[in-house]
Structure 1
């Protein structure tokens, strides 16, 4: 495991042994990954972390239920539980006020943090974000209902990407193997059991609370996203009083991978700029 790039440092956060990447210096930014099968902070942010770490301190944890973070037996997953874990990470590393970048599920968690604990948040970046109520897409239902096989993983990667050449056998095999590590599928299947529309709602912050978030916010979305609808980004843009919106064309759910250089530049400039 020592040569596995998905393994960072081990910290105790809210009583949970948590896998966390921590690199760079300066103003801390916390990167919160999405909820796909086999996901980890490294898998989600591997092209983002080194770019942002040139300008600030980057912390990218595996949130409870995902990656290489401990999942205690009989855990009942919920937004309050994930929020407690995220705050525990911030406290364990003594980060103080942080910028937050959230992808998909991570966007919902970032929104919840900004709404419930605004004193902990500087700026907010929401990429392909959940966090508001919407009719579940076929794509998201497929992601949350994943049953392990290389073929299913290949179709999942194709779903995430506009550029279908990304759905390679190598990537499908790597993510499939990550999804079948001991205990991983058991934990994943407990995250969002059917009927899954209720979990979209459970991740949502009330619109009145979103409208009260007085933080600079950058909303990023792929126009061809088939997992989280682009209309989410437009709704968040209307709700958040200090928001700006960037929509990438020819881009699916993986903006940070499909348009890595432009995404890193856009987010880095936004976070480094004056509030």
Structure 2
């Protein structure tokens, strides 16, 4: 689908058209393929390749522009045609705050943040990163493969608390390397505070974080939870940065329950 600035986004859609809708927004240097192929057969799931990632266009700009990110999400929500639950993993949480900053909760039934940041920049509490990400920077942003490849490999291995199968790690590494170095770097050239945005969230919110996340520090979720009114927090024990992979059954059940609760809440408000 086409965003307001003309960027073509690849969106992978599954599930019944009339079911409650979920929009999945992946993290930095990842793609929609990071999510399990089957989140739920009772939800309408739209997994987005963010601009510059996966099968989507790689425009020359927009990566440090909140309006561009808000426009991207808006295009997907307009396609859905009904209030949807936004699910942001890692950097995807920041993309959600970009949308909320510009449009509020228009078209949003609920928000799920998964090991997510909601801010970025030196000293931003909502952008606490873990030791694995700190170790990867700045080499992971370099256009020198002798620096970038080892850094991205180490980061990919650190995504899960327990070692992932070698083939899975290699596929994820290939996905990261597909994102141009210029895009990987541009995503970090931001200084964004979001306290006022989080305080205005007026739809249900679920925050999920693994207790052994080495990529995004759990402090980032503590921060968001302290600001979003009525936020529900679910800590996944002995889990790293990918709860939807490491604890797939638990995540699926939690997400389906939350989405149906959002749908019920929306119906009650409309009536």
Normalised TM-score (structure 2): 0.82
Given the alignment of the two structures, is residue 263 of structure 1 paired with residue 260 of structure 2, yes or no? no
2:63, 2:183 within 8 Å by CA — same for their partners in 1?
Answer: no
CA gap of 1:145–1:19, structure 2 versus 1, over 3 A, is farther
Given the alignment of the two structures, is residue 13 of structure 1 paired with residue 3 of structure 2, yes or no? yes
CA gap of 1:258–1:249, structure 2 versus 1, over 3 A, is same
Given the alignment of the two structures, is residue 240 of structure 1 paired with residue 241 of structure 2, yes or no? no
Name 1:71's counterpart in structure 2. 58
Given the alignment of the two structures, is residue 111 of structure 1 paired with residue 97 of structure 2, yes or no? yes
CA gap of 1:173–1:150, structure 2 versus 1, over 3 A, is farther
1:55, 1:272 within 8 Å by CA — same for their partners in 2?
Answer: no
1:25-45: CA deviations, max 9, x gaps?
212211110113xx1112x21
> For the residues of structure 1 that align with 2:10 and 2:67, how far apart are their CA atoms?
20
SS for the counterpart of 1:213 is coil
Structure 1 gaps, min length 5: 1-10
Shift of 1:169: 3.2
1:71, 1:187 within 8 Å by CA — same for their partners in 2?
Answer: no
1:13-61: CA deviations, max 9, x gaps?
332121110111212211110113xx1112x21x2x5232x12211111
Moved more, 208-217 or 146-155: 146-155
> For the residues of structure 2 that align with 1:156 and 1:251, how far apart are their CA atoms?
16
1:154, 1:169 within 8 Å by CA — same for their partners in 2?
Answer: no
SS for the counterpart of 1:257 is helix
> For the residues of structure 1 that align with 2:67 and 2:130, how far apart are their CA atoms?
24
Shift of 1:136: 4.5
Normalised TM-score (structure 1): 0.81
Structure 1 counterpart of 2:48, from 61, 85, 88? 61
Shift of 1:177: 3.0
Shift of 1:151: 4.2
> For the residues of structure 2 that align with 1:58 and 1:143, how far apart are their CA atoms?
33
1:114, 1:121 within 8 Å by CA — same for their partners in 2?
Answer: no
Computed over aligned residues only, the root mean square deviation of the Cα atoms, in angstroms, reads: 2.2
Given the alignment of the two structures, is residue 125 of structure 1 paired with residue 115 of structure 2, yes or no? no
> For the residues of structure 2 that align with 1:240 and 1:186, how far apart are their CA atoms?
34
